Amino acid sequence: MLRRRRRYAMLAVGLLAGLLAPATVTAPPAAAAPAGAKKVIANLFEWNWPSVANECATVLGPKGYGYVQVSPPQEHVRGNQWWVAYQPVSYRIESRKGTRAQFQSMVNTCHAAGVKVIVDAVVNHMSGQDAGGTGWAGSSYGHYNYPGSYQSQDFHYCGTSGNEIQSYHDRWQVQNCELVNLADLKTESDYVRGRLAAYLNDLLSLGVDGFRLDASKHMPAADIAAIRSRLSRPAYIVQEVIYGAGEPIGPGEYTGNGDVHEFRYGKDLARVFRSERLAYLKNFGEGWGHLPSGVSAVFVDNHDTQRDVGGVLTYRDRGIYALANTFMLAWPYGSPTVMSSYTFSNRDAGPPSDGNNKTLNATCYSGWECEHRWAAIANMVGFRNATEGAGVANWYDNGNNHIAFSRTGKGFVTINDEDSAINGRSYYTGLPAGRYCDVIHGTYANGSCSGPVITVDSGGWFAANVPAHDAIAIHVGARLS
């Protein structure tokens, strides 16, 4: 959600290269956790529709990503900042990322590649522009007037200074006042609920498979449930509800509607990797007070948190970021999303664009970071798929920053975040004997491996040296003949 955090309050050269390479209806059931065997989501933040389509066909599908999350597709205010996409003007599928036809083509292409589509849906508010203006696709609007959609009676006016949220410890304010001047929709209104449902159903008619509901914390869970009940068919739902210590609104309130983002996950993981001990991760997730795994959506960083300096690991952390994503994809907690960013130095900066602020095609490693392609991340998607449903076994740690564990009978990973190599050690995997591709350093395809091969003996053991700040990962889906 745009700008909300303003309010809230090395690896060896060889390893680094390897890691970074290249009408009301019966309510549908709440889709808690993505459906299907492939659950990993790639968040292609601010990618345009032709680029998303191409990436589904050439990378996401082949690598085993189950979903792609795309940025808000509705008409928005004009400007070059990233957050303009989160200021709706109308519900026309026309934005700087492409036309309705291009969006439809993208969904079709992604489906053909086996990748489902999640839309980042802005349903809490409209624009934050006091003077109004003309939107991206030519629609005129005012702060509380959106012809064809809403008029002044469809918004909250909470009576605080500027109608703004003054305290996050006041539930009523958080859900009835404006977030950074954004015109707050009266989501308890039957008309507003119907209009929002019509927008989401339009997207469903185009084949969309799910929604990330932006700013969910700023709407009562019952309002979201009422909107969801009007959807034309079941869809995966994940809600953005930021945990705040001592605040009256918590993420657990929303689990009846679907998944909820567990914002504590990325912050805790960053703290462990930066200044604590990986050994502490033995019960990471629910054991740390996080949401139950089955309703938790997790990420190392997302488009908001990566703009909070020092709060989470981001692409700028390079190798350690790759290792944190390796752990996330290996550890069986929550539904993981891999972030894919563009390079930025100004927190408001929009994506690479032309002179008219139309988003350019994504060119990886040239203005676009494409973390979802980094070898140690992309290849671990296959690990996640191969180990789905398997528990953790054979945990090992040295009391500090070297850990290892199995996903029972399906995979094994060891991560060494020490400053020196771990040499001359054997690891018990519990896997069938055979030769396995180390997917951290090689890609498995057509029965062969482009990198190191790990041999597991008849007892389920293998011996290997693990360099400093490195990892080894093997799984039954990358076993050589």
Q: Is 171 helix (H, G, I), strand (E, B) or coil?
A: helix
Q: What angle do CA 314, 331, 268 make, to 5 degrees?
A: 45
User: DSSP letter string over 121-162?
Assistant: E--SB----TT-EE-TTS-EEBTTBBTTTB-GGGB----SGG
User: DSSP letter string over 336-390?
Assistant: EEEEE-B--SSTTB--SB-TT-PBPPP-BTTTB--GGGSHHHHHHHHHHHHTTT-
User: DSSP letter string over 206-243?
Assistant: TT--EEEETTGGGS-HHHHHHHHTT-SS--EEEE----
214 is catalytic: yes
**Whether the Cβ atoms of residue 82 and residue 124 lie closer than 8 Å to each other:** no
Among 405, 321, 9, which residue's Cα sits nearest to residue 168? 9
**Whether the Cβ atoms of residue 32 and residue 258 lie closer than 8 Å to each other:** yes
Distance CA 349, CA 330 (A): 33
Q: Of 223, 240, 259, 438, which one is the catalytic site residue?
A: 240
**Phi and psi of 435, rounded to 5°?**
-105, 130
296-299 and 210-213: which strand pairing?
Answer: unpaired
Q: Of 75, 94, 120, 214, which one is the catalytic site residue?
A: 214
Enumerate residues 6+ apart whose C-beta is below 8 A from 343.
367, 368, 369
Q: For residue 315, give the DSSP letter.
A: G
240 is catalytic: yes
Tell the burial category of 93 from Cβ atoms under 10 Å away from its Cβ (0-12, 13-18, 19+).
buried
How many CB atoms are located within 10 Å of the residue 327 CB? 22
Enzyme catalytic residues: 214, 240
